[in-house]
Chain A
Amino acid sequence: MRLLRNPSLVAGFVMVGGVVALAAMGPLLAPHSPSAIIDAPYMPTGPRTLLGSDNLGRDVLSRFLWGGANLVWMAFGATFIALTLGAAVGISAAYFKGWTDEVLMRVVDLKMAFPSLVFVLLFVTMLGTSLPLLVLLCGLSLMPGAARVLRGAALAVVDKDFVQWARSVELPAHRILFREILPNITSPLLVETGLRLMWSISLLAGLSYLGYGIQPPTSDWGLMIYENRNALRVQPLAVVCPILAIAVFAIGGNLIAEGFARAFRQTR
């Protein structure tokens, strides 16, 4: 496959795949329960704790192995919501134009006036931090960006003659939207998938870091960084390991986006 010769793309998939595997397999490999207190706080590497202990004396390795279990799936869930809604909104706005476009884009503009984190925080203040709610809020807050990009991509397609042909022979609108237009914006859709994955993990981990995401005692990478950030000098691993996991996933997402964008430019 031509895509295999695209280094960004391959690296991106390997990185995202690696972190997904870590999140999926980690709990099976963890030597201890992530919430069990097995040592004094902030102990260095010892016989029972391969990476030392954290602020409460829990095993850093076990907490790290458990720390992606929720985060990674939530990131995928939020990305899925953002892209499905974004594609539906973007393509409809581009195709129907006029009032539909105006109203949908006003809604998008409204959300675009808030940084994603601020938007989520606004609702979290009132609604609390249940995990499905967080996924939904993150998905909604990342939707408008996708909608805008995909609307732009679809606008370049809707005036193409093959769409005009489909209209002239009166193909049903849903067929035109999903069978004629959608396949022609797969490239930006793939680019957006990478970007939204990167942003959703940023957003979710950031929320945990601020204390408004996944709640203790559940183990979570963002939370680990927050809990142990004052002990960087004595127990850096408890911060560095989750930082690396999040960074690898996010950079992987960005590389996937970059790789697809390049492949897209080359084919045009």
Chain B
Amino acid sequence: MLKVENLSVVLADGTPIVRDIEITIAAGQTIGLVGESGSGKSTIARALLGQTGAGVRIASGRVSVDGRELLSLSPADLRNACGRIIAYVPQDSGAALNPALTVGRQIIERLLIGPDRLDRAEAFRRVAEVLTTLGLPSDKQFLARRPGELSGGQLQRIGLAIAVVARPKVLILDEPTTALDTSTRGEVITMVRQLTQSMGAASLYVSHDLGLISAVADAVTVLYAGEIVETASAQRLFAQPAHPYTRALLEAVPQVRQKLPIKGIPGQVPDLDARLQGCSFADRCSAVQPKCRESKPALAQQATGRVRCFFPSAAPIRRPGDLGPETVGDHGIVYRVDDLAAGYPTAPRLLDGISLALRRGKCTALVGESGSGKSTLSRCLIGLQPITEGRMGFADAAQGAGLRDSRRMQYIFQDPSGSLNPRRKVGDSISLAARHFFPGEDPRPRVEAALARVDLSPAILGRFPSQLSGGQKQRVAIARALVAKPEVLLCDEITSALDVSVQASVLQTLKRLMDDGLSLLFVTHDLGVVRTIADEIIVLKQGRIVEQGPADQVFATPEHPYTRMLLDNVLELPAGVPA
């Protein structure tokens, strides 16, 4: 079993990245390590194998496996422990596998070195056995492939195979399914469970995805700003979170089961050097007291687990009932797509027979996995991809209205760091759009009005995109779209690059814009987000619509097997107590 005590990792100047980490995992047990970006979870994962990035070092701590301390071992002994005693599954096997070597070589090489090396025949037998367990072929031809010739799901399984082939006692899984599609993700998770149970390994599953953790972990450790804020059994933690951060995080996760009001966490994670005084979460906490800012609470034993809070909650988490559909107001059709197709009739078409209508103040969600054509469709709508058949346009406009159309429908991109010109101050980016759409007018009032609608302070106008957080950048991108006075916003996976707490607050903003009469076409693969915000759903598969209807109806009685498959693969948080 694994026991981590007092582990701290610091920058070269001594600024801590993670502090006083304590984790205990019994053999056969899986612990989920949860945190948002910047919480230090990947740093911990690597530090457990004695590794750090450049300019970073392990300042203190013990990592012991079955009583044997690893971090004080000689480099050679630590190397022998890596892979054999404690093994690591990378986040993105596509990048972690050497592109020049065959996958067979990369799986087997660890078995052929070190004091307890195997002979080649035995090693090959072991490789074949592991590959079979993982549902991969184990013939020579497959082993001779290079990473570039395999799919994402296959690569991730190879990463897993490399980790488990030497039968380690401890398995560190660093977001091993984040890069995968929902359906592939399910298979890989099942395999991880089977493997860890059959090997009796103690495993640490690192992830930002709470739903996923609730499905794989026996116990959960929650990280915030480099510290553990709460540790409890999975059952307790999801039903009765004690730390305000855990509670807020759980409430920010959108649910598929029912339509809930959106609750984000205001503010952002403090910088590394601003974490030392008081509770790191104090600035964002809704129940903050003066004491929280004066001294740092210790990780103390509570009834439910261990909590770093002076005022832990003892109440179970409560979920209000389903909000149900909203019907008030004018929801006439604003924009219409009729029988649209893209790509040439020879070869499988990129898109075929797409018809949809967007209603005023409503959100239509476009759902599908990668390759389903959802991005192609949104690119068609803004003219970046030529259409070969069909019509699209505003309900009240004649065809081919030129600039008018490009003003009335605005596109917001998935990656906020890419959609703003990095060499231009964000204020200039927004006013460029204002001047483009309303030439000859003073852009300033328009810029300020747009900024207010997305809850940004004018202070950020003078900054460059690199000086903003992901959530702020996405708000700037929305503001830039709003200065055009659009009637339709096309949102392409706009929250998928954001942390769940930030995602929730961006969704809140979007909801308010809808109440002002804006129509949304929301492209996403995240069904929880769809449930939260969408009124209509369109399910896309291989360029065709397979299901289309009101959100409640599609969620309650999905008709197409593909839709059912998508819904079945959702990893949902355990239901809370009804309010």
Contacts and interface: CB of A to CB of B under 8 A. Distances in A.
Given A161-B413, A161-B415, A165-B411, A170 B421 contact: no
Interface residues of B, number: 25
B556 interface: no
Contacts, number: 46
Interface string A176-198: 00001001101000000000000
Nearest to A160: B418
16 contacts: A161-B413, A161-B419, A164-B413, A165-B411, A165-B480, A167-B383, A168-B382, A168-B383, A168-B384, A168-B406, A169-B410, A169-B433, A169-B484, A170-B406, A183-B424, A184-B422
Interface in A142-188: 160-162, 164-165, 167-171, 180, 183-184, 186
A180 B428 CA distance: 12
Given A161-B419, A164-B413, A184-B421, 14 more contacts: A160-B418, A161-B413, A161-B415, A161-B418, A162-B422, A165-B411, A167-B384, A169-B407, A170-B403, A170-B406, A171-B436, A180-B421, A184-B422, A186-B423
Contact of A165 (B403, B413, B423): B413
Interface string B395-438: 00000001100110011011100111111100001000100110
Interface of A: 160-162, 164-165, 167-171, 180, 183-184, 186
Contact of A184 (B413, B423, B480): B423
A162 B419 contact: yes
Interface residue SS majority, chain A: helix
A183 B410 CA distance: 24
A171 B436 CA distance: 7
Contacts of B384: 164, 167-168
A161 B420 CA distance: 7
A183 B429 CA distance: 13
Given A180-B421, A183-B421, A169 B415 contact: no
Nearest to B480: A165
A165 B415 CA distance: 12
A10 B410 CA distance: 46
- Among all A-B residue pairs, the 3 with the closest Cβ atoms: A161-B419, A161-B418, A161-B413
Contacts of A162: 418-422, 429
Nearest to A168: B382
B355 to A, nearest CB: 22
A186 B418 CA distance: 17
A170 B411 CA distance: 12
Interface in B360-417: 382-384, 402-403, 406-407, 410-411, 413-415
Contacts of A184: 421-423
Nearest to B383: A168
- Among B384, B403, B420, B423, the most chain A Cβ lie within 10 Å of the Cβ of B423
Contacts of A183: 421, 423-424
B406 A169 contact: yes
Nearest to B465: A162
B487 to A, nearest CB: 15
Contacts of A180: 421
Contact of A169 (B418, B422, B423, B437): B437
B481 to A, nearest CB: 9
Nearest to A180: B421
Interface string B128-157: 000000000000000000000000000000
B378 to A, nearest CB: 10
A165 B407 contact: no
A180 B402 CA distance: 22
Contacts of B484: 169
Contacts of A169: 406-407, 410, 433, 436-437, 484
Nearest to A267: B466
A75 to B, nearest CB: 29
- Among A162, A180, A184, the most chain B Cβ lie within 10 Å of the Cβ of A162
